[in-house]
Chains A and B, each alone.
Chain A
Amino acid sequence: DTAVSQTPKYLVTQMGNDKSIKCEQNLGHDTMYWYKQDSKKFLKIMFSYNNKELIINETVPNRFSPKSPDKAHLNLHINSLELGDSAVYFCASSPAGLTYEQYFGPGTRLTVT
């Protein structure tokens, strides 16, 4: 059974478009995250959600917005895509608490042309 899943796996789109990436976890975790990994492989957190509430919002452009319809889902919406948005986006989840590791989804490779 897949623990953390993301769709789509690959996304190619043009500048200026709006796109969404979906994430679902079946682990019963309370907290979910979105990360961006750029071409230099630097993994940087974008958002985290705990029980449907945004708990920390990193300094990302407001073109990016997380949407959590329920505890098991955290979708990422991106408006007016730019070339610099090209990267691999990972969703992750963890139990509540500060000492638990995260479980990552397989990633979505976004290419903006």
Chain B
Amino acid sequence: GQNIDQPTEMTATEGAIVQINCTYQTSGFNGLFWYQQHAGEAPTFLSYNVLDGLEEKGRFSSFLSRSKGYSYLLLKELQMKDSASYLCAVRPYGQNFVFGPGTRLSVLP
């Protein structure tokens, strides 16, 4: 089976940088995804990694290490609107998406 772990909650200050980690156990997968979900809203896609390394997308970057079963989402120049839950998800071979429990990020002024 698959097991995905993320910190439950994190707090950071406006303008700072925060790193949200995701660890997983799966024998193989087609890709690792990060989604953002504001309270009471639907998840929205942030980034995708299939190869090891860093993918940069504006203020958001995502890193993947397949050998270590590890990914992180890096958020720079934090804004108040970044307060949300961040969900890590994998798509194991031959299976459908599996989402992690999510990390609730609070950005303080």
Beyond A98-B31, A98-B91, A99-B31, whether A43 also contacts B42 by CB under 8 A is no
Select the stretch in B15-23, B64-72, B94-102 that faces chain A.
B94-102
* Chain A residue with the shortest CB-CB distance to B45: A101
Report the minimum CB–CB distance from B7 to chain A (whole Å): 14
Beyond A98-B30, A99-B50, whether A41 also contacts B45 by CB under 8 A is no
Is there contact, CB below 8 Å, between B95 and A56?
yes
Is there contact, CB below 8 Å, between B48 and A99?
yes
CA separation between A58 and B99, bound complex, in Å? 14
Any chain A CB within 8 A of the CB of B78? no
Is there contact, CB below 8 Å, between A104 and B42?
yes
Is there contact, CB below 8 Å, between B99 and A42?
yes
Kindly list chain B residues whose C-beta atoms are within 8 Å of the C-beta of A45.
Answer: 96-99
* Chain A residue with the shortest CB-CB distance to B34: A101
* Residue from B41, B44, B45, B101 within 8 A of A42 (CB atoms): B101
Is there contact, CB below 8 Å, between B44 and A104?
yes
CA separation between A101 and B42, bound complex, in Å? 14
CA separation between A40 and B91, bound complex, in Å? 22
Report the minimum CB–CB distance from A100 to chain B (whole Å): 8
Report the minimum CB–CB distance from A41 to chain B (whole Å): 6
Shortest Cβ-Cβ A-B pairs, 3 listed: A104-B42, A101-B45, A98-B30
9 additional contacts (CB under 8 A) given A42-B101, A102-B97, A103-B45: A33-B97, A40-B101, A48-B96, A90-B42, A101-B45, A104-B42, A104-B43, A106-B42, A107-B42
What are 10 sample pairs from A and B whose C-beta atoms fall under 8 A apart? A41-B85, A43-B102, A44-B99, A45-B99, A48-B96, A58-B96, A90-B43, A98-B91, A101-B48, A102-B97
